[in-house]
Amino acid sequence: MKKLKNILACVVGIIIGSLVNMALISVSGKIIPLPDGVDNKTAEGLAAGIHLFEPRHFIFPFLAHALGTFTGAFTATKLSHPQTIYGPIIIGILFLAGGIMMVLQLSAPMWFNITDLVAAYLPMAYMGFVLGKIKQRP
């Protein structure tokens, strides 16, 4: 029963983390407008216009990746019993795989690719695990 609960906690964490990621990406253009002519509705449109991006345009993608991973790992930790690191690490690895696919599809600047892959996934999954383990006082 504990294994099933931990598997479900991981699945819920992936879903919640993905929703956070998508929500941040969808509001990013309203907060930091995209350059004229960039269509971020498709991967092809984004790849065609990414050369027009300034450093500020990469803030929300990084936040979406980092906070999505963190939220998913935190959720999985809170829902699992016992609170193990397996779910958060699985979430971090799956989100990292998505980040690697993004790097391969888009020609974003190397500084962003390195920062995103190194800081947004596994460290945030670990942080979500650590903070998720903290017991709340009654």
Residue 40's pLDDT is what? 72
End-to-end alpha carbon distance in the chain: 27
Put residue 39 in one of left, alpha, beta given phi > 0 → left and psi -120 to 50 → alpha.
beta
Residue 58 CA, chain-centre distance (Å), reads: 14
Domains of the chain: total: 1
Residue 18's pLDDT is what? 97
Please tell me the distance from the alpha carbon of residue 53 to that of residue 129, in angstroms, as a whole number. Answer: 33
**pLDDT tens-digit map of 70-120:** 999 999 999 998 888 999 999 999 999 999 999 998 888 999 999 999 999
Q: Is residue 90 part of a domain?
A: yes
Indicate whether this model's pTM tops 0.85: yes
| Per-residue confidence band for 136, with pLDDT thresholds at 50, 70 and 90 | low
**Residue at 26: amino acid letter:** S
Please tell me the distance from the alpha carbon of residue 18 to that of residue 115, in angstroms, as a whole number. Answer: 20
> What domain range is 25 assigned to?
2-133
